[in-house]
Amino acid sequence: MLPARDQQLVQIVDAALADTARRSGEWLVCRPGCTQCCVGAFSISQLDAERLRTGFAQLEKSDPARASQLMDRVTLSISRIAADFPGNLQTGILDDSSDAQDKFADFANDEVCPVLDPETGMCDLYAARPMTCRVFGPPVRSEDGLGVCELCYHGASDEDIARCEMHLETDDLEADLQSQVETETGRRGHTIVAFALRR
User: Running along the chain, 199 residues long, what does each successive block of 10 average in pLDDT?
Assistant: 93 95 94 91 97 98 98 98 97 95 94 96 96 93 86 94 93 96 95 97
Q: What pLDDT score does 144 carry?
A: 83
CA dist., res. 194 & res. 92, Å (int): 9
Spatial contact of 41 and 107, defined as CB atoms under 8 Å apart: yes
* Angstrom distance (rounded) from CA 49 to CA 47: 5
Prediction pTM value: 0.93
Give the per-residue pLDDT at 145.
84
pLDDT for the residue numbered 143: 82
β-bridge pairing 140-142 and 122-123:
unpaired
89 CB neighbour count, 10 Å cutoff: 12
**Residue count of the chain:** 199
Provide the CB-side half-sphere exposure for 3 (13 A, CA): 21
Under a CB-based contact definition with an 8 Å cutoff, are residues 165 and 141 in contact?
A: yes
Give pLDDT, residue 133. Answer: 94
In this structure, the number of other CB atoms found within 10 A of the CB of residue 31 comes to 7
